[in-house]
């Protein structure tokens, strides 16, 4: 589903746009009750059984976009009844961050192997021959069927059928979840096991029913700006190309000034410092003190590693993430500023919610939520005028490369080549949480000793995050081009390195 614009995308983005428009207009916020009617007008439903269900689902998505909790289905209260809870510039994310709207869930069947009508009733029956549980049987027409009570979903029959008449069916949200955190409630609807969830957001962008959403701080960010607060945006390297080819760094900066941001900083400068810190950590600790070292920048990966393999908690680098390093540098220069990290990631909202990070990062928005703010202000990048020289403070090519899978490890190894040219470093990259789990299993078996392990919660890296807009491959190409435009290649050449000790104080 990623990269294919759909009705689900429209619903999600319309919600962000209308919440942003409400915030910018200010005044009586009880008008929030009209948003579902604006997004779902008329009497005829477009996607559901009736228009009332469609509006109820949009209402809950608006509730989450306001940063509020879902309302139980047996409670009857309009959005405006508790809008005061959202009308603040001090609201942190209240867990759970990622939520399933129960009555929006289609109750898709759990994982199953099914034989379709394409079965030709062949006499070879390879599906029957390879089934380890004798779960496949013939009907009176010599067609094959699967006894679901016996089937263990091993997929051997699926791989053997010469007609491809056997299909695998799995909930899209569960298939996308690398933590096996999607379970079923008593009605067969999907629910999240929050003891396992790391808020990567892969379920919410893979649900084809718009039943899953995370909370937002759009209203709170705009409220802070409306009240005259100095709000500085720190933009993750994956931003390039997200808003189209016309959205150059200079135009993006100008557009964000229209939104009300008082400044824009490229988080790649923090990635440069994170790289050098991790390079020193690796050289000092591996293999003498630690068997391996994992990168720190992806919160979904680091939380997953510590949940599933607590014995490895010290092996995940303690280096501050690019988001936190950049925020700290900005706050050193602007002590009264509020910092809004803008990136591709739901899990960054979870990271910013940590008590140790709250003083550094005040708000987190995704690229998609920022698009809602642009739409609310009717910003067209084709018509914006900006001096190309008035862009963002540049990160290095390697720092910008954090946005793509393998980019973090590549940057650390490149930095090590300058710090200790004699040191050879083995690396491995986990592309998505499922691959990260396999990587850690190998490490537990002692087969990754001495390695630098890069973990990314989203397959493809940050350019594939739950809050991105553009197709993953297109975004990866844009990042590579952006790297080529950097003034320096190595993170060790960053002009901000002299500030690393200051940031770590």
Cβ-based neighbour number of residue 82 at 10 Å: 15
Which residues belong to CATH 3.30.70.20 in the chain?
A: 7-107+173-219, 112-169
Report CA-CA distances (Å) from 20 to 23, 163, 373.
5, 51, 5
pLDDT at 4: 77
Q: What is d(CA 1, CA 446) in angstroms, rounded to the nearest whole number?
A: 37
Q: Which CATH class is domain 7-107+173-219?
A: alpha beta
Q: Report yes or no: 7 and 207 within 8 Å, Cβ to Cβ.
A: no
Q: Are strands 293-294 and 451-456 parallel, antiparallel or unpaired?
A: parallel
Cβ-based neighbour number of residue 502 at 10 Å: 11
pTM of the predicted model over 0.75? yes
Classified as helix, coil or strand, 326 is helix
Q: Are strands 212-214 and 98-100 parallel, antiparallel or unpaired?
A: antiparallel
Q: Which residue do the tokens 């590549």 mark?
A: 410
Per-residue pLDDT of 488-501, as tens digits, reads 999 999 999 999 99
Q: Report yes or no: 293 and 300 within 8 Å, Cβ to Cβ.
A: no
Q: Report yes or no: 231 and 264 within 8 Å, Cβ to Cβ.
A: no
Give me the architecture of the 112-169 domain, per CATH.
2-Layer Sandwich (3.30)
The half-sphere exposure of 444 on its side-chain side, counting CA atoms within 13 A, is 14
Q: What is the torsional sign of CA 371, 373, 378, 383?
A: negative
pLDDT at 206: 96
Q: Which of 404, 402, 441 is nearest to 296 (CA)?
A: 402
> Mind giving me the DSSP string for 134-162?
--EEE-TTS-EEE-TTT-----HHHHH-T
Q: How many helices and strands, by DSSP H and E, does the chain display? A: 20, 15
pLDDT at 387: 86
Cβ-based neighbour number of residue 420 at 10 Å: 14
Backbone torsions φ then ψ of 440, nearest 5 degrees: -70, -30
pLDDT at 287: 96
Q: What token pair was written down for 235? A: 């933009």
Q: Which of 466, 438, 254 is nearest to 350 (CA)?
A: 466
- What residues in the chain have per-residue pLDDT under 70? 1-3
Q: Which of 297, 221, 256 is nearest to 392 (CA)?
A: 256
Q: What token pair was written down for 348? A: 């960054």
Helices (H), 146-230: 156-160, 172-176, 202-206, 218-226
Classified as helix, coil or strand, 168 is strand
Report CA-CA distances (Å) from 127 to 114, 117, 152, 158.
11, 15, 14, 7
């Amino acid at each position: 589903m990623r990269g294919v614009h759909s009705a689900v995308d429209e619903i999600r983005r319309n919600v962000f746009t209308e919440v942003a428009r409400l915030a910018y207009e200010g005044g009586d916020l009880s008008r929030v009750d009209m948003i579902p009617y604006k997004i779902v007008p008329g009497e005829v439903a477009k996607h559901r059984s009736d228009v009332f269900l469609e509006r109820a689902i949009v209402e809950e998505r608006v509730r989450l976009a306001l940063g509020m909790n879902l309302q139980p289905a047996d409670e009857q209260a309009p959005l405006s009844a508790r809008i005061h809870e959202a009308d603040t510039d001090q609201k942190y994310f209240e867990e759970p961050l990622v939520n399933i709207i129960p009555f929006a869930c289609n109750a898709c069947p759990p994982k199953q192997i099914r034989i379709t009508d394409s079965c030709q009733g062949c006499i070879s029956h390879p599906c029957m021959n390879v089934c380890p549980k004798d779960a496949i049987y013939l009907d009176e027409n010599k067609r094959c069927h699967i006894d679901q009570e016996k089937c263990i979903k091993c997929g051997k029959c699926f791989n053997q059928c010469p007609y491809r008449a056997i299909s695998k069916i799995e909930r899209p949200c569960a298939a996308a979840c690398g933590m096996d955190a999607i379970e079923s409630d008593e009605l067969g609807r999907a629910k999240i096991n929050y003891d396992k969830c790391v808020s990567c957001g892969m379920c919410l962008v893979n649900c084809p029913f718009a039943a899953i959403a995370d909370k937002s701080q759009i209203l709170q960010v705009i409220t802070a700006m409306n009240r005259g607060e100095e709000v500085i945006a720190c933009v993750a390297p994956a931003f390039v190309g997200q808003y189209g080819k016309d959205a150059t760094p200079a135009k993006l900066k100008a557009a964000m000034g229209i939104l009300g941001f008082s400044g824009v900083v490229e988080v790649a400068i923090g990635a440069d410092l994170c790289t050098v810190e991790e390079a020193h950590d690796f050289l000092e600790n591996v293999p003498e003190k630690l068997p391996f070292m994992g990168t720190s920048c992806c919160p979904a990966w680091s939380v997953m590693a510590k949940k599933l393999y607590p014995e490895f908690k010290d092996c995940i680098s303690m280096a501050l993430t690019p988001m936190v390093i950049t925020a700290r540098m900005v706050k050193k220069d602007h002590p009264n500023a509020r910092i809004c990290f803008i990136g591709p990631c739901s899990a960054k909202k979870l990271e910013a919610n940590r008590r140790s990070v709250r003083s550094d990062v005040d708000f987190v928005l995704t690229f998609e939520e920022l698009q809602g703010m642009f739409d609310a202000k009717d910003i067209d990048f084709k018509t914006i005028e900006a001096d190309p020289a008035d862009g963002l403070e540049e990160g290095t090519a390697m720092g910008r490369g954090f946005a793509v899978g393998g980019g973090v490890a590549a940057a650390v190894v490149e930095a090590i080549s300058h710090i200790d040219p004699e040191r050879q470093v083995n690396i491995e990259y986990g592309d998505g949480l499922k691959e990260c789990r396999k990587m850690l299993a190998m490490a537990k078996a002692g087969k990754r000793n001495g390695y630098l392990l890069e973990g990314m919660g989203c397959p493809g890296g940050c350019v594939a995050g739950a809050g991105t807009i553009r197709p993953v491959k297109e975004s990866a190409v844009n990042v590579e081009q952006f790297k080529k435009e950097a003034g320096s290649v190595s993170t060790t050449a960053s002009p901000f390195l002299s500030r690393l000790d200051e940031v770590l104080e």
